């Protein structure tokens, strides 16, 4: 009985000791990993392609947005799920139509994704930045 009471108090003391560190960690603002104040990073977007021999491949597009206008940046930040959905639909459709063994047309893909950006945000001003496009 005494052992249970001791272990309970020990666990309570350990939890109380970690509270200031947890409060300080929760109070910190989330810092960006890359880019400046106007850059909004996006997770990689993938689509399924066909490879020689009937196997399936993957088209991966890494991109982000540069939005210098603070009002439009707030709108873009709030619209990230819609932007990502539009980008995924575009990349999936493009990857499905990519001929076997062909290289992706980066200019066409960039124009298509920029058009989706302008449509979702309702106006121009956000510039799509493309990183790597990988076909595997």
Q: How confident is the model at residue 126 (pLDDT cuts 50, 70, 90)?
A: very high
Per residue in 16-68, pLDDT tens?
A: 565 555 555 555 555 555 668 899 999 999 999 988 888 899 999 999 999 99
Domain for residue 22, yes or no? no
Average pLDDT value for residue range 110-134: 95
Domain for residue 49, yes or no? yes
Domain for residue 9, yes or no? no
C-alpha–C-alpha distance, residues 101 and 49, integer Å = 10
Domain for residue 100, yes or no? yes
Predicted TM-score (pTM) of this structure: 0.73
Domain for residue 81, yes or no? yes
CATH number for the domain harbouring residue 108: 3.30.479
Q: Which residues pair with 59 in a beta bridge?
A: 47, 135
Q: Which domain holds residue 124?
A: 39-135
Domain for residue 11, yes or no? no
Domain for residue 4, yes or no? no
Domain for residue 53, yes or no? yes
Per residue in 59-109, pLDDT tens?
A: 999 999 999 999 999 999 999 999 999 999 999 999 999 998 889 999 999
Residue 101's region, left for phi above 0, alpha for psi from -120 to 50, else beta, is left
Report how far apart the first and last C-alpha atoms of the chain are (Å, whole number).
62
* DSSP symbols for 56-113: EEEEEEEEEEE--SHHHHHHHHHTHHHHHHHHHHHHHHHHHHSPTTPPP-HHHHHHHH
User: Which residues touch 69 (CB under 8 Å, ≥6 apart)?
Assistant: 125
Average pLDDT, the chain: 84
Domain count for the chain, please give it: 1
């Amino acid at each position: 009985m005494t052992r249970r009471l001791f272990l309970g108090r020990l666990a309570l003391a350990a939890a109380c000791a970690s509270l200031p560190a947890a409060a300080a960690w929760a109070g910190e603002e989330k810092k960006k990993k890359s880019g400046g104040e106007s850059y909004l990073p996006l997770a990689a977007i993938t689509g399924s392609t066909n490879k020689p021999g009937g196997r399936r491949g993957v088209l991966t597009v890494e991109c982000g947005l540069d939005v210098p206008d603070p009002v439009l940046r707030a709108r873009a930040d709030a619209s990230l799920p819609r932007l990502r959905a539009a980008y995924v639909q575009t990349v999936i459709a493009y990857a499905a139509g990519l001929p076997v063994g062909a290289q992706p047309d980066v200019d066409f893909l960039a124009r298509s994704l920029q058009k989706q950006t302008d449509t979702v945000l309702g106006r121009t001003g956000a510039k799509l930045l493309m990183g790597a496009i990988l076909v595997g």
